[in-house]
Amino acid sequence: MKILVTGGLGFIGSHTVVELQNVGYEVIVIDDLSNSSEKVLDGIEAITGVRPIFEKLDLREKSKVQDFFKRYKDIDGVIHFAASKAVGESVENPLLYYENNVGALVYVLKEMIAMDKANFIFSSSRTVYGRLDNRPMSEDLPLMPAESPYGNTKKIGEEILKDVCKVNTNLSVISLRYFNPVGAHPSAEIGELPLGVPQNLVPYITQTAMGLRDELSVFGGDWPTKDGTCVRDYINVVDLAKAHVTALRRLLDSKNESNFEFYNLGTGDGNTVLEVIESFERVSGTKLNYRIVDKRPGDDAMAYADTRKANEILGWKAESTLDDSMRSAWNWEQKIRS
Ligand code: UFG
């Protein structure tokens, strides 16, 4: 079976390529290398023994997308990661986000609806639920107005898919709503490669411990949580990657109950920022330099998943602990700086 992975050299994409190849799928990767490197192919090959087919392609170029699908007529499924993902950047440059995350999606879907049977996995985000403190986010909640252009592209992406699925019954879609992806492959051959100063907590922690950053700013110490710092649901990237394979299998086997399904991918548990730091200190044996500072605009106190739908229907459950994730993230950080 041939699977196209767009954005397959990115953080979640590369881990998913590994899991697909581990169970025998033939993978074709498309990536524009705007936030990734061709060296990731070496890491994928080192883990799996197989170098996926790679095409450098910008999905905003409609004619190139058309040409790609003309050349690869026998694709059995598409996992679509290619997108921009920085919330702050999306506020500064919304059109980049609408073009990359919505425009490119439309071009890919146009090609897919022309297939006899098309299977599509979409990278969505818990951001579609908006703010919801003090209770787990479950899939029966309505989509809320987005808090950033980035968030809006995920919400619009899901709405586009739902509309297209209504009239194109040859298309089956599963949208996966990620909570906070963290960690790296246990081999330390692939992991997260943030450009510039990391915006996310875990790469900021590992870079601080490595001496690349002076100290971690913990955004807010008086949130209504058990220790005053924000709670998030940190999901291990390998667990997340495996969920994509499970979701794809469901579509390939025509086990889906509707042609547009959506699932949360998280652990179902929340951890505070201080707990994440403690976990890092425990597994690395180093003391982290951090300081509690003012809240970051746009943050909310708590976000964690109700994972029952993914557990019961997809038959998927996160297996790694927070310590596992912090250990692999730290091993990866040490490897890339050595
Ligand atoms: N945090 C710090 N210091 C930092 C970075 C983060 O204290 O230097 C805290 C944040 O305040 C938050 C937690 O660590 O409480 C996690 O922050 P991240 O930036 O790693 O993740 P977010 O939950 O803010 O963002 C995630 C995704 C985004 C997505 C957003 C909403 O990374 O892509 O959820 O869905 F848009």
Residue of 201, 214, 293 to test ligand 1 pocket, by largest number of atoms within 8 Å of CB: 201
Ligand 1 proximity of 153 Cβ (cutoff 6 Å): no
Closest CA to 232 of 191, 201, 189: 201
φ, ψ for residue 315, nearest 5 deg = 75, 30
Q: What is the pLDDT of residues 242-282, one digit of tens each?
A: 999 999 999 999 999 999 999 999 999 999 999 999 999 99
Instruction: Tell me, yes or no, if the pTM score tops 0.95.
Output: yes
Q: 296 CB under 6 A from ligand 1?
A: yes
| d(CA 164, ligand 1 centre) in Å | 32
Rounded CA-CA distance 189/39 in Å is 10
Beta carbon of 127 within 6 Å of any ligand 1 atom: yes
Please name the residues in contact with 167: beta carbons below 8 A apart, sequence gap of 6 or more.
none
> Nearest C-alpha to atom 31 of ligand 1 is from which residue?
127
* % of residues, the chain, pLDDT over 90: 94
- Cβ atoms of 219 and 297 closer than 8 Å: no
d(CA 100, CA 85): 10
Q: Please report, for residues 162, 240, 302, the alpha-carbon distance to residue 323 in angstroms, rounded to integers and kept in the order given.
A: 37, 16, 20
Q: How does residue 195 score in pLDDT terms, banded at 50, 70 and 90?
A: confident
Active-site annotation, residues: 150
Where residue 66 falls (left for φ over 0; alpha for ψ -120 to 50; beta otherwise) is alpha
Looking at ligand 1, which residue's alpha carbon is closest to its atom 10? 219
Report the distance separating Cα 188 and Cα 327, nearest Å.
10
Answer yes or no: is the C-beta of 180 below 6 A from any ligand 1 atom.
yes
Both tokens of residue 37? 């490197």
Averaged confidence pLDDT in the chain: 97
Task: Determine the average pLDDT of the residues in 190-206.
Answer: 95
pLDDT tens digits for 118-146? 999 999 999 999 887 778 999 999 999 99
Q: How far is the CA of 127 from the centre of ligand 1 (A)?
A: 11
Residue nearest to atom 14 of ligand 1 (CA): 201
Residue 207 CB–ligand 1 contact under 6 Å: no
